[in-house]
Structure 1
Amino acid sequence: MSTTAQGLPKITGPGLKKEGVVILQAFFIAFFTAIELLFRSGPGIITGVIICLVLFGGIRFGRKGTTYVAVVTPPLAFAATILLYLLLTEGLKPSRLGLDFIASLAAIAPYLLASALYGWFIYFNEKAKARKPKPRI
């Protein structure tokens, strides 16, 4: 009996499409944020590190042209997760909901800023490299 992996399908294609990047980033952010919210009752370092990791993963494993989606998705997925959690736990109390939402965003702000700066640098760097140079007169 041979030990080769003949039955396993090989990964084809250059990487994840835009939809795949969004789904994976949103899933990992929602999963780890929910775990941290249940155990610590607030987002913290685990959620921040996961946000940075999914940004790097989206840039690394996405196809060409998915960098914009990989940069934009993590803050939106985190905000949607926090808003859904607060709506389920606090209810529709606007002052309480707004205060808790802003506090949750502030707790993760350094990680969001660092990952956004890195992501936008990569995006604009790729865009600049793809542009043709202007002819000199």
Structure 2
Amino acid sequence: MSEMMQSVGPRISLSVFQFLGDQKQELVAFHRLATVYYSLHMYEMAEDCYLKTLSLCPPWLQSPKEALYYAKVYYRLGQLTFYQLKDAHDATEYFLLALAAAVLLGDEELQATIRNRLDSVCRSPLWHSSTSGCSSERARWLSGGGLAL
């Protein structure tokens, strides 16, 4: 990766802190930063930023829009963890959190999509060849740290 691309992340990270004080803007900034890290193939940084966005959400889901956001971000985390970070067990935990949000949302089509993905992950050779990684600890901390799905 070029030096210019490696310096993009820290510059964008610094710009996130100008939004401190407005939690919604901070959430948007971290979500955008996660997207940039993902596009730069910096998947662990993307995962951390996506988790940060979820920690900035209200502790209780207040609307279907919030449930949809949780479902989409946890689904993205599951995809990222399984395909890029090659961790089937942690991906499963993210997909289960996405499924919980989809159930609260009542979106049966989204639930079916997530269940199919879970089935694929659990049948994959990666599931049988790997053990649970460290991102599961962050997912447990996040889901146990006041976020109610």
Q: Bin the TM-score by the shorter chain.
A: 0.3 to 0.5
Q: Which has the higher contact order (CA 8 A, sep 6+)?
A: 1
Larger helix fraction of residues: 2
The alignment's TM-score, normalised by the length of structure 1, stands at: 0.36
- TM-score, structure 2 as length reference: 0.34
